[in-house]
Amino acid sequence: MGSTNKGEEAATDQSPEADLARSGPRVRMHPANSQLQSPLFRKLSAELRLLIYEVVLGDPTRPMHIVLYDDGSGRVGRQRCEDMECPYPMWRHKCFGIYKPGDGLGVRHSFTPSTRDGLLALLLTCRQIYSEALEVLYAANEFHFKGPRGIIALYSCIPRSHWSLIHHVHISTVFLSPTERWENGVHSGHPSEVYSVWDRGCRSIRCLPALRSICLDIIVWHSLKESRDDPSMISDQTLIRILEPIKAIEAPIFEVEINIPIPHSVLRSLGPVNFTVAVRRRPYNSTVFGVR
């Protein structure tokens, strides 16, 4: 996985359309023609047009995965979810790619996001549609991220005015303990998380003023395989280090799903929080999806 710095440099001259799809020309926001010659504008009210945009650009049943390319470029693409029945944590959806035999971990991530779905064709029709429908593109989709690196890449790619339109977010990842082993370092694109990168991703999420719902599904394990399923091996400091950065995120619906109970001592240390916690242990095939 390439560094996000490459993605940031490559994205400087890209339009929002290219950032999400890496295709299509820049759309310049000059004053739009009223387009009254088109029945869409002449006969339909703005309210009806918005309903059409929501049907075309959004999908209430299939979220949008934001996927980093594995070509070392730091680019980010999208993939409408095709694995809704998957019982595993969200980051293991096949939409993020499959894992094949390789070096190091014994597995490697192999995937190129599919962005030739015509999703953005409507936005590129004319400036009037672009100006009316752009907010719908971000507001009518639930954006799914495998850990914070996709968050950071997308945040670096698109204008802040567009980033601020996102309404719904889901983040899925794995943390290993003890914290100091994973505080910094090079991320392979395969969980577990680097804690310092987690901080950056959470700061980006805090820049979403229109956020309406956010869900985190988190696995916390000890680094020692023989202790991995023992919650008592996870220190309070580790849980605080994971949860502290999300305290400043604000959303009417904020849910944290985690595989181990959070001790009262951790909750006392955190103080007031605006998220609910659900303990859930999802199935996990560590033979195929190993961790470092």
**What is the pLDDT averaged over residues 206-215?**
97
Lowest mean pLDDT among 33-37, 65-69, 104-108, 197-201: 104-108
Q: Could you tell me if residue 209 is inside a domain?
A: yes
At residue 107 the predicted structure's pLDDT band, cuts being 50, 70 and 90, is very low
Q: Could you tell me if residue 50 is inside a domain?
A: yes
Q: Could you tell me if residue 29 is inside a domain?
A: no
| pTM for the model | 0.81
β-strand partners of 68: 76
**Cα-Cα-Cα-Cα dihedral of 146, 169, 26, 80, to 10°?**
60
Query: Of 11 and 219, which is predicted with more confidence?
Result: 219
Our count of domains for the chain comes to 1
Rounded CA separation 57/137 (Å) = 6
Q: Are 78 and 137 in contact (CB under 8 A)?
A: no
Q: Could you tell me if residue 229 is inside a domain?
A: yes
Q: Which domain holds residue 58?
A: 4-23+35-279
Q: Could you tell me if residue 284 is inside a domain?
A: no
3-class DSSP state of 128: helix
Q: Could you tell me if residue 146 is inside a domain?
A: yes
Q: Could you tell me if residue 30 is inside a domain?
A: no
**What is the pLDDT averaged over residues 187-206?**
81
282 has a pLDDT exceeding 60: yes
Q: Could you tell me if residue 291 is inside a domain?
A: no
3-class DSSP state of 279: strand
Distances (CA, A) of 78 to 39, 64, 196, 268: 32, 7, 25, 39
236-243 helix and 195-205 helix, angle to the nearest 10 degrees = 30
